[in-house]
Structure 1
Amino acid sequence: MQTDREEVLDLVHSTELALQKVGLRLLVAKATSEDVPDLLGLVAAEHSRIARMATEVLAQNPGLWSIADLAPLKRATNPHIRQRGWRLHRSRRGWEALIADLEVLRDPDRHLAALGRQPTAPMYLPPDERQQQYIAELLIDAPLSRD
């Protein structure tokens, strides 16, 4: 039995956490770019499980959103929300994961900043020109040893 997209969205917008969780599980395969603002709002939600599930929907659908869409999460006053933005940025993998790690090193919350201390450069594919420039800028004052 296939669930209609409108039914899935009704579940996602439910006030009942259990129904919201079911809706988010189903939305992974049905998400569209129209869902991105709501999903980003859920990433910043109070309930960590809902936030994690909304992050998963976005991570499984990277073509629907851009790194720029994460700016409000990354600028949030709450370090937990900034961490969710970092995790979502990291979900892009490759050089974007390294960029996310270098960005988080500057976070004022020392626990969050520590998450970026072990950046791992991806193998095989070189960064594109934009990524090269941005990585160079981030490395200038990154609190990392040369090793």
Structure 2
Amino acid sequence: MKNFSKYSVLALASALFFSCGNAQKEKVEAATIGPAAVATDSLSKAAAQLGKIEFEESAFDFGQIKEGAEVKHTFVLKNTGDAPVILSKVNASCGCTQPEFSKSPILPGGTSDIRVTFKSEGQVGKQQKIITVQSNASNSMTTVQLKGEVLAK
């Protein structure tokens, strides 16, 4: 009977020792996972708080023009996101196409214009000019295009 009591006490002490270790381990795991979950949640909220650019039209077809003519077109974009958008750079795929844009912040729900001038001198044939827009929006790089055909003089 004494041996049984000794083993019972040893088993009980072991059970308490290991169960306390598991409880401590669960607390450590919860503390480790907790901040990561909070950080991920904060990143998700921050990502949701970005602006987003949407153009009224992704391409403008100017049809047929005679060589030497200039085509001017205005692309209108809207910020459909939750934070202001700032256009940092607007480039055209060719030196014959010049974009103009505002660097003022575009508030959520607001619009802005990108005015494009295409000079057709020396550009005979089918044309497709890509205008690349870089910004701080969730879709940080977007494009629109100007296309048509230039007929020889």
TM bin, normalised by shorter chain, reads: under 0.3
TM value normalised by structure 2: 0.21
Larger of the two Rg values belongs to structure = 2
TM value normalised by structure 1: 0.22
The structure showing larger relative contact order (alpha-carbon pairs under 8 Å, at least 6 residues apart) is 2
